[in-house]
Amino acid sequence: MRCLMILEAREKRFNLQKELVSEFNMPLVVFRINYPGSKNNYIVNTIYNLIDLDWDFEHKVEINDKEGLVLLGIVDLDSSELKKRMINIEENHPLGRLLDIDVYDESFKQLSRTDLGYSQRKCLICDDIAHYCIRSEKHSLYEVQQRIYHMFVEYLSSYISDIACESLHEELNLLNKPGLVTPNSNGAHKDMDYMLMLKSIASLRDGFRKIVKGSFTLDLSECKQIGKSMEEEMFKATNGVNTHKGGIFIIGALIISFVKSLKNSIDWQDNIRYLFKDISKELLERKYHSHGKDVYLKYGITGVRGEAEKGFPLIFKNLEGDNLKVLFRIMSDCDDTTILYRHNLDVLEKVKYDASDMLDLDISKIKKLDKEYSLKGISPGGSADLLGGVIFVRRLISLLN
Ligand SMILES: [Zn+2]
């Protein structure tokens, strides 16, 4: 039955391809993920989303059927040139060996690698010609699927770690954040500057990669251990200054919940709520002293842990809009425990009020506020960490279907 459905899907697609070429009278690209066995799974879907398909298509059709996700794109380019570019992706993209990109010319003739003087594609496992291995069933389905899985996890780990660091850079580079470190101000901080923040971000790259990889196989407490070692790396890089503890927690929690929900097809925010439901309780059970615990005991305010328990609503409801405006929206709403720890409830209420007054983004008012906070030592660091989370989620969400 499945075979019949695949054949039907293939025939339907073939007819559509033919129609597209004759309608536009231009070359056609057919893009698929090369995955043996059933293609309707998160690995195929995520690889599809990971490849940047933002080419200059005249027309684009995406199909998702028994054959998995297939993209048909009409491109206004010489067909041989187009085929060469596609071979370049197949050969040089880290996931290129998992892609099947066919090119048809204006007369609907399929171009082959050998026509253009390229060698036939190699097998994923033994480097023989792929075609021979498939025909002779040289490798088991499981063996090939495992090889693809490892390539996928490896690539996804680097990819997510890169966007995590890019997000922290984007937050750091945002100018006019009141009291916070920017490329041209240390804000309210005497112990931090831009260069220190850059060093700190660089120290996190490897840890983020490990968290992504770990989230596929480890449980939450094991993943938290990776977070702990990231904190140690950060303190080493900054000579003991806490630059990104909040950032590690927020982005780490987002990564763990993202990977686990991707793998098990669960809603991302639901999974955050489920995974972190006891995190405030754990804080109280701690034997050792921490800023978060002190603030919780004194004010009953849970800060970023409470945010995680609720599925980070301050992040997910603020994905749209200009970064500075998002920062003020978060500040006006956030019970920032960093402010409570260094100051008191009155200062926190004042920050929330100030932020709601800055939503019109009047730059002279904002600069005045920055001066005031820098003098008074007020730094809305918890809100800045959440802004980093917003930027990260915006980038990561494109991997979901
Ligand atoms: Zn082989």
Q: Which of 112, 138, 164 is the last residue of a domain?
A: 138
How far is residue 166's CA from residue 73's CA, in Å, rounded to a whole number? 30
If you measure from the C-alpha of residue 92 to the centroid of ligand 1, how many angstroms do you get, rounded to a whole number?
20
Q: Read off the pLDDT of residues 259-318 as tens digits, 9 standing for 90 and up.
A: 999 999 999 999 999 999 988 877 777 777 777 777 777 777 778 888 999 999 999 999
Whether residue 57 contacts residue 74, with contact meaning beta carbons closer than 8 Å, is answered with yes
Cα 95 to ligand 1 centre (Å) = 17
Output the CA 57–ligand 1 centroid distance in Å.
34
For residue 97, which of 68, 72, 124, 116 has the smallest C-alpha distance? 124
Cα 114 to ligand 1 centroid, rounded to whole Å:
19
The string of DSSP letters for 338-375 reads: HHHHHS-HHHHHHHHHHHHHTTT--HHHHHHHHHHHHH
pLDDT band per the 50, 70, 90 thresholds, residue 65: confident
Whole-number Å distance, alpha carbon 221 to ligand 1 midpoint, is: 39
Q: Does residue 97 share a domain with residue 207?
A: no
pLDDT score recorded for residue 131 = 87
pLDDT digits (tens, 9 = 90+) for 93-107: 999 999 999 999 999
Cα of 213 from ligand 1 centre, angstroms = 26
Based on the fold, state whether residues 95 and 172 are members of the same structural domain.
Answer: no
Please give the distance, rounded to the nearest whole angstrom, from the Cα atom of residue 40 to the centre of ligand 1: 24
Q: Chain-wide mean pLDDT for the chain?
A: 92
- Please state the φ and ψ torsions of residue 28, each to the nearest 5 degrees: -125, 140
Q: How far is the CA of 133 from the centre of ligand 1 (A)?
A: 5
Q: How far is the CA of 239 from the centre of ligand 1 (A)?
A: 50
Cβ within 8 Å of residue 363, ≥6 positions away: 176
What's the alpha-carbon Rg for the chain, to the nearest Å?
25
Distance between Cα 123 and ligand 1 center (Å): 5
Q: Quick one: 191 and 229 in the same domain?
A: yes
Neighbours of 142 (CB within 10 A): 10
Q: Does residue 32 have a pLDDT over 60? A: yes
Q: Are residues 170 and 252 in the same domain?
A: yes
Could you tell me if 183 and 277 lie in one domain?
yes
Task: Assess whether 117 and 186 both reside in one domain.
Answer: no
CATH number at residue 374: 1.10.4200
Q: Choose one of 91, 110, 138: the last residue of a domain.
A: 138
Q: How far is the CA of 141 from the centre of ligand 1 (A)?
A: 12
DSSP state of 317: T
Distance 128 CA to ligand 1 centre (A): 5
Q: What residues have a C-beta under 5 A from ligand 1, the ion?
A: 123, 125-126, 128, 133, 138
Alpha carbon 291 to its chain's center: 29
Tokens of 367: 């600069």
Q: Are residues 84 and 182 in the same domain?
A: no
Which residue type is seen at 319?
L
Q: Is 89 found in the same domain as 194?
A: no
* Maximum distance among all Cα pairs of the chain, rounded to whole angstroms: 75
**CA gap 60, 195 in Å, rounded:** 44
Which pLDDT band holds residue 363 (cuts at 50, 70, 90)?
A: very high
Distance 260 CA to ligand 1 centre (A): 31
Q: Are 158 and 134 within one domain? A: no
Of 138, 167, 202, which residue sits at a domain end? 138
